[in-house]
Amino acid sequence: MSEPYFNEITAEGYHHIEAEITALKSQRPTLIKALAEASALGDRSENAEYTSAKRDLRHLESRLHFLNKQLQYAKIVTPTDDAVVEIGKQVTVTFVDDGEQETYQIVGKQEADIKANKISLVSPLGAALMGKTNGDVVSVQAPNATYQVQIVAVTL
């Protein structure tokens, strides 16, 4: 029998999922009440309130199920205090072609948020950086092009 697969995640990402679960659970009684009230209105076949309340509750339950599975198969990774790129660390890179510099945090795939400069360890850039250190020049195989970045700093 094969060993179960776990998704690596930062402690911050794990706690974010826990907080979302708590918030959704607090909404559940309100949605159940709305469904009961809409159900009491009568004929369900032409009852838009009932259909809407039922859909909203089903959406909440589906999201809760998804998030609970995320936690069930999550493995919190605690980064070490060295200059090697790994999940949870901040990495400052210089793009070799134009000299532009960016800082990203390497995170689990469910935490990725490019607007917050959080890139997944399985993204083209994240995967190329994993295990590298300060000063390394890395080739990144993106879907539309190959480019190079130089690692300027790796921090917690």
Minimal CA–CA distance to 33: which of 62, 53, 61? Answer: 53
pLDDT of residue 3: 57
Containing 26, the helix (H) or strand (E) segment is helix 11-39
Rounded to whole angstroms, the Cα distance separating 121 from 88 reads: 10
Whether the per-residue pLDDT at 129 is higher than 80: the answer is yes
pLDDT mean across residues, the chain: 91
Whether the per-residue pLDDT at 56 is higher than 70: the answer is yes
Q: With 0-12 CB in 10 A as exposed, 13-18 as middle and 19+ as buried, what is 83?
A: middle
Q: Write the pLDDT tens digit of every residue in 68-95.
A: 999 999 999 999 989 999 999 999 999 9
Domains of the chain and CATH, by start: 7-76 (1.10.287.180), 90-155 (3.10.50.30)
pLDDT of residue 46: 76
pLDDT of residue 2: 52
Whether the per-residue pLDDT at 59 is higher than 60: the answer is yes
pLDDT of residue 89: 95
* 42 confidence band (pLDDT: 50, 70, 90): confident
* Residue 5, φ and ψ in degrees, nearest 5: -90, 130
pLDDT of residue 6: 87
Whether the per-residue pLDDT at 48 is higher than 70: the answer is yes
Q: Which CA distances in Å does 9 have to 41, 89, 103, 122?
A: 46, 12, 19, 12
pLDDT of residue 5: 77
**Type of residue numbered 71:** L
pLDDT of residue 67: 95
